[in-house]
Copies of this chain bind each other. A is one copy, B any other.
């Protein structure tokens, strides 16, 4: 995933209204007015949110007469999740490795030459 897309995706997910829109879309396509209804918010406001979601690739638009149905774009949702998952795993591993090392050093220092725990 490109950094720009990551920026756009996380930024898109950072808004509760947009997360609610995604949640709503999980139960099927919807038009802009349908999406706007529950939000006590004007139609243009929702259109703006949709544009943000679209720029992040989280959503795509169809065409049905004058309606522009919105649908979840599962693929790019998965891409974003995978990215986070991979990085998180890596970060966590590094952290734990360092933490273990630090713990070892501290233990050594404390006991002056008698490693207490099962340090490899």
**Distance A14 CA – B14 CA, assembled complex (angstroms):** 8
Residue count of chain A within 8 Å CB distance of chain B: 34
Q: How many copies does the complex hold?
A: 2
By a CB distance below 8 angstroms, the chain B residues around A118 are none
Mask: chain A, 42-57; 1 = CB below 8 Å from B; 0 = not? 0000000000000000
Query: Of B10, B27, B72, B94, which one neighbours A11 at CB under 8 angstroms?
Result: B10
Query: Which one, B3, B7, B77, B87, contacts A91 given CB within 8 A?
Result: B77
Q: Which of B3, B15, B23, B91 contacts A74 (CB 8 A)?
A: B91
| Residues of chain B lying within 8 A (CB to CB) of residue A87 | 23
Using a CB-CB cutoff of 8 Å, which residues 1-27 of chain A contact chain B? 3, 6-7, 9-11, 13-16, 19, 22-23, 25-27
The residue from B10, B81, B91 contacting A22, defined by CB atoms under 8 A apart:
B91
Q: B3 near A7 (CB under 8 angstroms)?
A: no
A88 (CB) vs chain B CBs: closest residue: B81
